[in-house]
Amino acid sequence: MTIVGQKRIAKQVYHNSIGEDWSEPYYKSEWLDYVKPENKALADIFFNGVWTKGVCWETTNHVPLLLRVPGAKKGLRSDALVELLDIYPTLCEATGLKTPTHCEGRSLLPLLKVPERSWSAIASSQFRKGKVVARSIRTDRYRFTLWEKGKGNIEGIELYDYKSDPEGTINLAASPDNKRLLEKMKQLHRSGWPTDYWEEK
């Protein structure tokens, strides 16, 4: 079985085990049954956090979002980039409560009225692993992630094109051909995070 085939099986095992303990022997043995001896390293990756919610990849950040609001039309769908931060202000507006000033998101109720309306250019996410922090932005086509150890100390860069690479398996950041695109994504990245994000509160 190819690595791609093994990844597909891994995803199936993941979907079957959502909500369960990853350390359960059943799930681990089910996965290992499909892995050739020379590819056991892939299994190590699978069970050491990379395949769970511990990275800023598409499969770990993309979650289903279903909204049901009294008076809104049913069955509408939007491709707008939204964030989980938007749920709080959405609930506030839907219930007639004043949205607290500390909320960083925005109400999604306008999208329920006009799903195709212009919306955010990026969605942001982050993950901390020890002293290293991954901060990621997602546009309608790309995901760009900076791994930093302290502000400005870049440990790694990731750039994926989900139009040409839907699975996000090819990191374009190292290619000299993508220098201009990389600079554009860095500018968008700066716009997605406050300048004082490393300051202790």
5 has a pLDDT exceeding 80: no
pLDDT at 117: 92
| Residue 95 falls inside a structural domain | no
| Residue 44 falls inside a structural domain | yes
Structure tokens at 199: 């300051």
pLDDT digits (tens, 9 = 90+) for 12-50: 555 554 444 444 444 444 444 544 444 444 544 454 445
pLDDT at 63: 80
| Residue 149 falls inside a structural domain | yes
**Residue bearing the bigger pLDDT, 144 or 4:** 144
| Residue 77 falls inside a structural domain | no
Closest CA to 198 of 152, 143, 137, 147: 152
Q: What range defines the domain where residue 42 resides? A: 3-52
**Residue bearing the bigger pLDDT, 53 or 72:** 72
| Residue 177 falls inside a structural domain | yes
In this prediction the pTM is 0.70
Structure tokens at 172: 């374009």
Please name the residue ranges forming H helices in 57-176.
Answer: 58-61, 87-94, 109-113
| Residue 185 falls inside a structural domain | yes
